[in-house]
Amino acid sequence: MKTRLQKKIFIPVLAVLIFFSTTAFKNDFFEIAKQIEIFTTLFKEINMNYVDDTNPGDLMDTAIKSMLDDLDPYTQFYNEQDVEASRINNAGDYTGIGAKVLTLQDKLVIVEPYKNYAADKAGLKAGDEIIKVDKVSVADFKDDAANLLQGAAGTEVTVTYKRQGKTNTVKIIRESLEIKAVPHYSMVDEKTGYVVLRKFNDKASSETIRAIKALKNQGATQLILDLRGNPGGLLHEAVNVTNIFVPKDQLVVTTKSKVKKYNKTYYTQREAIDTEIPLVVLIDGKSASASEIVSGALQDMDRAVIVGTRSFGKGLVQRPKPLTYGTQMKITISRYYTPSGRCIQALDYWNRDENGNATRTRQENYNAFKTRNGRNVFDGGGVEPDIEVEYSKLSTITKAISNENLVFNFATNYYYNNQIEDLKSFTLSDADFRAFKNYIKSSGFNFETKTETALHNAILIAKEEALDTEIDSEYKALTKALQAYKTNAIDDNKTQLKALLTDEIIKRYFYSEGLYTYYTANNAEIKKALSVLNNPSQYASILR
């Protein structure tokens, strides 16, 4: 009779046998077999002989994640809970409290309660810090505590949270929530329709088509498609969205892999909704993957003017692969190429620097490709917009401030100390911005640039080589210049920071729906899109 430990060892060995019996290998068959055998025997010896008790599941989880860390960040292992979360993300349905949450070390923070859903109806607000779900302390929960909030529709969950220093408890009835791919569409003016596409789930193209038809019925003769902040999703939905604006049988994207069956070409399959309507597509540094397929294809076909900032640069395609016991992995199987032949992958995960970080393709190494009309477009660094909007590309210090949640936290405090009556005319005053600067200072925010780090390392090396006295004056001058930059950096990025603050504050009072309404009257990228669309000769000249 096998012991429990022997069974744990037997299962991986059996999996190895199945692995080899169902998988075709070429020249590396022996090397793979050798490494799996080494790992299996090592795993057995640790579990049998290590001085303290070990948890085989935890050990294996660490081993898998460490192995995948050497690849790209999109190749991931999913446990059973992760598999369900991925299904929800692609399907667009969700059961829980109806809020976007951020998981921190000892609490969950409500980022956004969805309007008129459970959390909102229970009175939760952005910035609320959940410290206990039912009787489970978030600080003591090892896995993603956000999973505690999910459950069957109609079930009750008790949430304990902190708000502005006070602790409160509320009971919430979970409910089903449909996460819309198109959360907003409206008329910007009497002839311009505006469509926000936030994700490429399996409803993306149908929701976009429905929005466009509704806007055309309202008189839209030109369109703005907003892909800013859209991280991507399903590849076939990217093809379908592109198909809305281009005819049937047009090449949208090609995937290339070392495995022949993954080498595919994707063409539009249906008749288009409108091949002539003037179109501007908005992108930014968070537009990735499927968003880049759509914007890149429409740019290559000279079908739309792209406005905003350079996109993220994710030119890799993943596919889910089922594993045993309900687990799964998502594995990068190929690179994708736009119709002109460019791959817009920005980071090289296979040729890392001395610190193990992925290297970014340098602009001087970009390759030029041609659109249908002969315009130059480039690979290697995301989709470059035809018109770049000033201040839209986040600076280094703006990213650092945002990543420290300082914009988010200031907006929380602002909400509890101010009232906003008129949405479209709201502006953040200079006094408000001064208050924000004081808040940054009081938070202890310490921003160190990559240049500072490199300079510090350089002087350490110089000391080892006894060269520090030779370059001391230059080092001090550079350090002084960097400090001067940091002192003035917040004011130099005032326009950008005020835009982020305004967006976050607007959402506190009027939810995301209100933010989109505010955008149509005030957003710089939408204003630029309008100016291009309302100038037909400029629009045509850009695409020629």
- Give helix then strand counts, H and E, for the chain: 16, 23
Catalytically annotated residue among 107, 132, 314, 330: 314
Round to whole Å and give the CA distance between 136 and 37: 41
Residue 422 annotated to the active site: no
From the list 242, 177, 244, the residue with the least C-alpha distance to 215 is 244
Residue 260 annotated to the active site: no
Three-class secondary structure of residue 19 per DSSP: helix
Contacts of 128 (CB under 8 A, 6+ apart): 109, 110, 161, 162, 163
Three-class secondary structure of residue 140 per DSSP: helix
Residue 289 annotated to the active site: yes
Strand partners, 280: 224, 305
From the list 341, 365, 338, 340, the residue with the least C-alpha distance to 351 is 365
Catalytically annotated residue among 72, 128, 226, 300: 300
Q: How many CB atoms are located within 10 Å of the residue 309 CB?
A: 23
CA-to-CA dists, residue 259 to 105, 256, 339, 342, angstroms: 41, 8, 21, 20
Please give the distance of CA 463 from its chain centroid, rounded to a whole number.
42
> What is the token pair recorded at 330?
């998502």
If residue 321 lies in a helix (H) or strand (E), which one and from where to where? strand 316-322
> What is the token pair recorded at 222?
């030109």
Contacts of 168 (CB under 8 A, 6+ apart): 160, 161, 162
CA-to-CA dists, residue 186 to 135, 212, 217, 378, angstroms: 44, 9, 12, 33
Catalytically annotated residue among 186, 289, 295, 512: 289
Cα first-last separation, the chain: 77
Task: List, by residue number, the catalytic residues.
Answer: 289, 300, 314
